[in-house]
């Protein structure tokens, strides 16, 4: 007989056991990878199974399912290499912690969140060149998140709410606490950045949804200003990065800040907002995975040294172009439909800052297209040995695109069934057109 | 009527046929791909007949009341405007596809190009038959992307930069369009065309932009201005026209499609939303100003370019400005008529232009230097026919309209606008004819008179009939003209200014033809030389945008430096 309190432990246990099994099989990399992949599938089944058994999980099942799916797809395209293999069990552990955090409440939720941040600090410290200032900024950001969670666990409201909000902002990136997110996406090995691009914002956003009804108008106003600044900052930084990983990290920051602004401006976090969040995360994952395919061939090189892949690598070029389209908000993918659906909700009224939002939205086509243009078009380089995507790499990117397409075209009611009711705090609904 | 959906879907089949299959069979597939395009054209003709006889067709694949389905509200609304556009698009595509089968033969991107052509046609057809603003916008954006891909030539640096510029400029206007849709939905709670028009008419809304300063704006004006931003991009209006000349390295048939079909999207959008624009005189006035500026600058820059494709590109910009200006004057149907005529003309010119360039490359020769012969062969008969027909025409028209037809011209700006279009168009054509030297002057004079008759006939009968066809409700047409009416003095000065310009052109031509020296003050001459250089360099707008881009990246770099 399944009980509600068992769900987080079950969802936590399956990936962690899988991680242990995978680690035991590390002598044979192919078996290790297969074990990790099977674990993600079992984890997906356990989410669906527990949802069916209970009927009322704490967050929408479709969105929860995206986590093991993304973990699976990020692992699928990975080359069998010693350097990247430690990231596989780590992905599973993070998956377990993420699922546990999203489905738990109260003290357990706080502890799991704390563990997640501590683990992220550890991984970041272990894998980044310590001398890099970005690493220290990232560690400081996560460290602040840890302190914030401890404060939130100990102190009463409203101090706990503000502390909780700060913890949210380290995961679901918001200026000035975005450094951990950026460092994780641009510095961690293997498939971890691609998975974290979805996991971290999803966990942070879930906490924000819970905190939203308790936030005052002043706090929301402050958040809106920070979000606007973050969106502009992220866009500007993305614009000038010559390496794809920081570029994608800052681009994701800009797009997530758009969502922060929307939530702060309307005081709501409706279903389209979750669709948008998932789509931005998935699109960033996809672009990161596409870049990993290139990195596996040529190393972590400057963008300007590559190019001309359209003819020698047609599958890669097509998928990269489509992923970039999805990431910059073109139809029919999820980022576009999530964004548009959010804006068309009656809770939203266009105001002055909306112009800035549109500008940020527009800037994405500049830096994302530059990335595509640099890699795909131009003359082929004689010194490069071109090799198109292998079957697993191809499959992982195609399936990610498919997920983005589903998010973009599926009716919203598909995602509504088990999701929490969007809290309404400050914004009021009304038939605005009858004014 | 559901079979009408096949019209936009058939070109997709072409794309599928061409893109799939073995490379060795690509010629065979290309030939097979022509059939769905032709079928689509025939379907569009049938649609036009059905819509003309039976009224607009609506096919909705969604529930307009359900917000849950907002993500992809696919539906079709085909009225006379959509049907006309569908016939134009499929007709032009059929010709371009057939032409390209020979022109692009054995090109490396042959399959990709033909496939993209099918896809673009399908997207264009879906766009013009959209049932609501969101669907229109979705296909509008996809079109921006396809244009970026079509303008590409993978190995050519200038083309790459031009394509990126095209996409950025189009996205700029797309962002304005998106903001317009969001505002429209926020104010009127719908994106269905007819409901939107009804609510906008019934519910006047005032937006307080800056309440402390008393800045306010009509809701419809705000929506239409933002949406016009979208139209400006696709129709290459000043100052975001720079993408069009920069995309001219693409294959020639692409330009035929671009100049005959895609670029008309702006005019179509304004026509589709004509009832909304009719509610906002301020927007119409701005549309008029932008259109006029574009027409003047486009035509001026066209005269100073030294590359045939750029010349044609700026000619299109000028024509698009003209078309947008017509919309700004409330003559929406005239804009569609213009759009069709220009599309067919420019498509033909571009398809020929490819051959001319190829021929010039194979048989290079110096341009003709027959200036002296021109001077000596001045014909007073040609000149006087042109002069009298051009200057007598307004008097004849005024006599006919005012005296015989008893149309109160002073109270009807719309009619005056039509009359002026007749006059300016025929003057331009006749002025061009005076440059013909190789034939007898009586033939040129006869050609002038025939041209005059054709132009007058076209405007008075063809355009009038077309207006009646597109907008059967005469009151609706009158209301657009009324909304677009300019302040009396401004309108009068425009009329006087245009008249003076036309007369002065003839005076200059006469003096020039007789070898007379026209004394121009030195500063004006110097100014003209500078103006020529500025126009030749396309107002330095490309450089200005480049500097703006560099400024943004410079700020970003400084920001990064400070932070690290």
Same domain, B513 and B524: no
pLDDT band with cut points at 50, 70 and 90 for residue A433: very low
Q: Is A304 on the interface with B (CB under 8 A)?
A: no
Same domain, B306 and B388: no
The DSSP call for residue A403 is H
The whole-angstrom separation of Cα B293 and Cα A78 is 56
Q: Please state the rounded mean pLDDT for residues A115-132.
A: 83
**Which chain A residue lies closest to B198 (C-alpha atoms)?**
A433
Q: What residue ranges do the domains of chain A occupy?
A: 216-415
What's the Cα-to-Cα distance from A291 to each of A246, A303, B154, rounded to whole Å?
A: 12, 10, 21
Kindly determine whether residue A354 and residue B168, on different chains, have CB atoms separated by under 8 Å.
Answer: no
Looking at beta carbons, which residues of chain B come within 8 Å of A311?
108, 154
- Between A138 and B435, whose confidence is greater? A138
The interface predicted TM-score (ipTM) is 0.85
Tell me the pLDDT tens digit for each residue of A337-392. Answer: 899 888 888 888 888 888 899 999 888 888 888 888 888 887 777 777 888 888 99
Q: Please state the rounded mean pLDDT for residues A120-136.
A: 79
Q: Is A5 on the interface with B (CB under 8 A)?
A: no
| Structural domain total, chain B | 4
For B259-305, the DSSP string reads HHTGGGHHHHHHHHTHHHHTT-HHHHHHHHHHHHHHHHHHHHHHHH-
Same domain, B249 and B351: yes
The whole-angstrom separation of Cα B219 and Cα B207 is 6
Give the model's pLDDT for residue B505: 76
Whether A41 and A18 have beta carbons less than 8 Å apart is answered as no
Q: Please state the rounded mean pLDDT for residues B23-51.
A: 89
Kindly determine whether residue B190 and residue A362, on different chains, have CB atoms separated by under 8 Å.
Answer: no
The domain boundary, picked from B74, B97, B130, lies at B130
Most confident of A160-174, B150-164, B331-345, B483-497: A160-174
The whole-angstrom separation of Cα B259 and Cα B263 is 6
**Which chain A residue lies closest to B152 (C-alpha atoms)?**
A377
Kindly determine whether residue B68 and residue A340, on different chains, have CB atoms separated by under 8 Å.
Answer: no
Cα A32 from chain centroid?
25
The whole-angstrom separation of Cα A166 and Cα A182 is 16
Q: Is A233 on the interface with B (CB under 8 A)?
A: yes
Tell me the pLDDT tens digit for each residue of B433-460. Answer: 766 666 666 777 777 777 777 777 777 7
Tell me the pLDDT tens digit for each residue of A263-315. Answer: 999 998 888 899 999 999 999 999 999 999 988 888 877 777 888 888 888 89
Closest C-alpha to A184, from A240, A100, A252, A237: A252
Q: Is the pLDDT of residue A237 over 80?
A: yes
Q: Is B564 on the interface with A (CB under 8 A)?
A: yes
Looking at beta carbons, which residues of chain A come within 8 Å of B560?
237, 240
A96 Cα to chain B: minimum distance (Å): 32
Q: Is A346 on the interface with B (CB under 8 A)?
A: yes
Closest C-alpha to A287, from A332, A240, A238: A238
Same domain, B512 and B525: no
The whole-angstrom separation of Cα B13 and Cα B332 is 34
Kindly determine whether residue A239 and residue B556, on different chains, have CB atoms separated by under 8 Å.
Answer: yes
**Which SS3 state, helix, strand or coil, does residue B206 take?**
strand
Same domain, B220 and B269: yes
**Which chain A residue lies closest to B108 (C-alpha atoms)?**
A311
Same domain, B10 and B23: yes
Q: Is the pLDDT of residue B346 over 60?
A: yes
User: Which two tokens mark A11?
Assistant: 């969802």
Q: Is the pLDDT of residue B411 over 70?
A: no
Same domain, B335 and B416: no
Looking at beta carbons, which residues of chain A come within 8 Å of B564?
133
Note whether residue B366 is domain-resident.
Answer: no
pLDDT band with cut points at 50, 70 and 90 for residue A430: very low
| Bridge partners for B208 per DSSP | B216
Q: Please state the rounded mean pLDDT for residues B137-152.
A: 85
Kindly determine whether residue A239 and residue B171, on different chains, have CB atoms separated by under 8 Å.
Answer: no
Q: Is the pLDDT of residue B226 over 90?
A: yes
Give the model's pLDDT for residue A7: 80
Q: Is A156 on the interface with B (CB under 8 A)?
A: no
Q: Note which residues in 205-264 of chain B have CB less than 8 A from chain A.
A: 205
Note whether residue B493 is domain-resident.
Answer: yes
Looking at beta carbons, which residues of chain B come within 8 Å of A325?
145
Kindly determine whether residue A354 and residue B553, on different chains, have CB atoms separated by under 8 Å.
Answer: no
Same domain, B512 and B534: no
Detail the DSSP E strand segments found in B148-261.
206-210, 215-218
The whole-angstrom separation of Cα A432 and Cα B10 is 41
Mean pLDDT, chain B, rounded, equals 82
Kindly determine whether residue A373 and residue B164, on different chains, have CB atoms separated by under 8 Å.
Answer: yes
| Range of the structural domain that residue B300 is part of | 132-355
Tell me the pLDDT tens digit for each residue of B118-127. Answer: 999 999 999 9
Note whether residue B364 is domain-resident.
Answer: no
Note whether residue B393 is domain-resident.
Answer: yes
Q: Is B398 on the interface with A (CB under 8 A)?
A: no
Whether A62 and A47 have beta carbons less than 8 Å apart is answered as no
Q: Note which residues in 102-121 of chain A have CB less than 8 A from chain B.
A: none
Same domain, B283 and B146: yes
The whole-angstrom separation of Cα A434 and Cα B203 is 7
pLDDT band with cut points at 50, 70 and 90 for residue B324: very high
Q: Note which residues in 132-151 of chain B have CB less than 8 A from chain A.
A: 134, 138, 141-142, 145, 148
| For chain B, percent of residues with pLDDT exceeding 90 | 20
The whole-angstrom separation of Cα B495 and Cα B553 is 46
Same domain, B91 and B180: no
Q: Chain A to chain B, count of Cβ pairs less than 8 Å apart?
A: 123
Note whether residue B285 is domain-resident.
Answer: yes
Whether A126 and A138 have beta carbons less than 8 Å apart is answered as no
Which residue's structure tokens are 């050519």?
A: B156
pLDDT band with cut points at 50, 70 and 90 for residue B232: very high
Same domain, B204 and B312: yes
CB pairs under 8 A, 24+ apart, for A106-114?
Answer: A107/A153, A108/A8, A110/A149, A110/A152, A110/A153, A112/A8, A112/A12, A113/A149, A113/A167, A113/A203, A113/A207, A114/A146, A114/A149, A114/A150, A114/A153
A409 Cα to chain B: minimum distance (Å): 6
Tell me the pLDDT tens digit for each residue of B59-118. Answer: 887 776 665 455 677 888 999 999 999 999 999 899 989 988 888 777 777 888 888 889
Looking at beta carbons, which residues of chain B come within 8 Å of A233?
559
Contacts of B549 (CB under 8 A, 6+ apart): none
Tell me the pLDDT tens digit for each residue of B503-549. Answer: 787 777 777 766 777 777 888 888 888 988 988 888 888 889 889 98
Q: Please state the rounded mean pLDDT for residues B350-362.
A: 74
Give the model's pLDDT for residue A421: 45
| For chain B, percent of residues with pLDDT exceeding 70 | 86
Q: Please state the rounded mean pLDDT for residues A177-202.
A: 91
Tell me the pLDDT tens digit for each residue of B518-530. Answer: 777 888 888 888 9
Give the model's pLDDT for residue B436: 64
Same domain, B192 and B338: yes
The whole-angstrom separation of Cα B386 and Cα B452 is 10
């Amino acid at each position: 007989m399944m009980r509600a309190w068992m769900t987080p432990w079950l969802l936590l246990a399956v990936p962690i056991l899988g991680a242990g099994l995978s680690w035991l099989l590390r002598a044979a990399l192919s078996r290790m990878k297969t074990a990790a992949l099977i674990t993600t599938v079992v984890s997906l089944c356990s989410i669906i199974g527990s949802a069916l058994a209970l009927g009322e999980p704490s967050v929408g099942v479709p969105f929860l399912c995206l986590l093991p799916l993304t973990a699976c797809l990020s692992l699928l395209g990975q080359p069998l290499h010693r350097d990247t293999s430690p990231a596989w069990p780590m992905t599973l552990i993070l998956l377990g912690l993420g699922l546990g955090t999203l489905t738990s409440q109260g003290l357990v939720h706080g502890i799991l969140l704390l563990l997640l941040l501590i683990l992220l600090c550890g991984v970041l410290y272990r894998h980044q060149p310590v001398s890099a200032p970005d690493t220290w900024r990232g560690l400081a950001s996560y460290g602040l998140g840890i302190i914030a969670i401890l404060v939130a666990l100990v102190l009463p409201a409203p101090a706990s709410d503000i502390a909780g909000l700060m913890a949210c902002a380290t995961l679901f990136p918001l200026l000035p606490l975005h450094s951990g997110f950026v460092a994780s996406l641009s510095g961690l090995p293997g498939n971890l950045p691609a998975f974290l691009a979805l996991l971290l914002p999803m966990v942070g956003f879930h906490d924000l949804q819970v905190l939203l009804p308790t936030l005052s108008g002043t706090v929301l106003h402050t958040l809106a200003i920070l979000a606007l600044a973050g969106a502009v900052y992220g866009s500007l930084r993305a614009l000038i990065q010559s390496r794809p990983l920081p570029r994608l990290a800052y681009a994701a920051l800009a797009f997530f800040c758009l969502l922060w602004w929307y939530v702060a401006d309307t005081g709501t976090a409706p279903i389209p907002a979750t669709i948008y969040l998932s789509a931005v995360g998935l699109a960033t994952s996809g672009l990161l995975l596409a870049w990993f395919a290139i990195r596996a061939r040529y190393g972590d090189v400057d963008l300007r040294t590559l190019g001309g892949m359209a003819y020698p690598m047609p599958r890669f070029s097509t998928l990269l172009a489509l992923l970039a389209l999805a990431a910059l908000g073109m139809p029919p993918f999820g980022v576009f439909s999530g964004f548009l659906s959010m804006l068309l909700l009656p809770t939203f009224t266009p105001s002055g800052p909306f112009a800035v939002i549109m500008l940020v939205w527009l800037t994405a086509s500049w830096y994302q297209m530059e990335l595509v243009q640099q890699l795909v078009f131009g003359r082929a380089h004689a010194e490069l040995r071109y090799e198109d995507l292998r079957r697993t790499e191809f499959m992982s990117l195609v399936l990610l695109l498919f997920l983005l397409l589903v998010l973009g075209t599926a009716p919203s009611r598909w995602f509504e069934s088990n999701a929490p009711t969007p809290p309404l705090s400050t914004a009021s609904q009304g038939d605005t057109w009858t004014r | 009527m559901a079979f009408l959906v096949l019209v936009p879907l058939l070109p997709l089949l072409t794309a599928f046929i061409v893109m799939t299959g073995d490379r060795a069979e690509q010629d065979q597939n290309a030939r097979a791909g022509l059939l769905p395009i032709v079928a689509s054209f025939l379907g569009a003709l049938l649609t036009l007949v059905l819509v003309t006889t039976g009224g607009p067709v609506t096919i909705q694949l969604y529930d307009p009341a359900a917000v849950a389905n907002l993500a992809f509200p696919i539906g079709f609304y085909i009225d006379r405007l959509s049907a006309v556009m569908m016939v134009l698009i499929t007709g032009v595509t059929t010709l371009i596809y057939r032409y390209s089968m020979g022109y692009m033969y054995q090109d490396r991107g042959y399959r990709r190009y033909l496939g993209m052509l099918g896809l673009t046609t399908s997207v264009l057809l879906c766009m013009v038959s959209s049932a609501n603003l969101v669907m229109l916008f979705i296909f509008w954006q996809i079109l921006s992307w396809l244009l970026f891909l079509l303008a590409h030539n993978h190995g050519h640096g200038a083309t790459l930069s031009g394509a990126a510029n095209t996409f950025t400029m189009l996205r700029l206007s797309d962002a304005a369009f998106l903001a317009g849709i969001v505002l429209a939905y926020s104010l009127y709670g719908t994106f269905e065309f007819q409901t939107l028009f009804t609510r906008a008419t019934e519910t006047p809304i005032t937006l307080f932009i800056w309440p402390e300063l008393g800045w306010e704006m009509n809701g419809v004006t705000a929506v239409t201005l933002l949406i016009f931003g979208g139209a400006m991009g696709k129709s290459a209006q000043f100052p975001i026209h720079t993408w069009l000349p920069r995309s001219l390295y693409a294959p020639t048939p692409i330009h035929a499609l671009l100049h005959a079909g895609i670029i008309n999207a702006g005019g179509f959008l304004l026509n589709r939303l004509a009832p909304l624009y009719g509610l906002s005189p301020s927007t119409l006035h701005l549309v008029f100003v932008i259109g006029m500026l574009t027409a003047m600058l486009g035509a001026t820059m066209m005269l100073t370019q030294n590359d045939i494709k750029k010349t044609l590109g700026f000619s299109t910009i000028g024509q698009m400005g003209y078309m947008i200006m017509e919309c700004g004057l409330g003559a929406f149907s005239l804009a569609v008529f213009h759009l069709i005529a220009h599309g067919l003309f420019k498509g033909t010119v571009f398809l020929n232009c490819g051959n001319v360039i190829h021929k010039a490359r194979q048989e290079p020769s110096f341009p003709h230097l027959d200036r002296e012969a021109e001077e000596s062969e001045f014909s007073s008969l040609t000149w006087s026919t042109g002069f009298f027909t051009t200057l007598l025409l307004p008097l004849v028209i005024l006599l006919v309209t005012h005296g015989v037809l008893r149309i109160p011209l002073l109270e009807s700006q719309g009619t005056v606008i039509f009359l002026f279009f007749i006059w300016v168009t025929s003057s331009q054509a006749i002025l061009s004819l005076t440059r013909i030297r190789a034939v007898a002057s009586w033939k040129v004079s006869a050609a002038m008179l025939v041209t005059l008759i054709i132009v007058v006939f076209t405007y008075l009968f063809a355009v009038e009939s077309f207006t009646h066809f597109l907008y059967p409700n005469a009151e609706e047409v009158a209301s657009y003209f009324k909304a677009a009416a300019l302040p009396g003095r401004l309108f009068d000065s425009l009329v006087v200014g245009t008249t003076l310009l036309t007369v002065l052109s003839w005076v200059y031509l006469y003096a020039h033809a007789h070898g007379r020296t026209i004394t121009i003050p030195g500063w004006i001459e110097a100014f003209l030389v500078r103006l020529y250089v500025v126009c030749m360099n396309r107002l330095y707008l490309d450089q200005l945008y480049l500097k703006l881009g560099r400024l943004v990246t410079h700020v970003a770099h400084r920001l990064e430096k400070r932070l690290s």
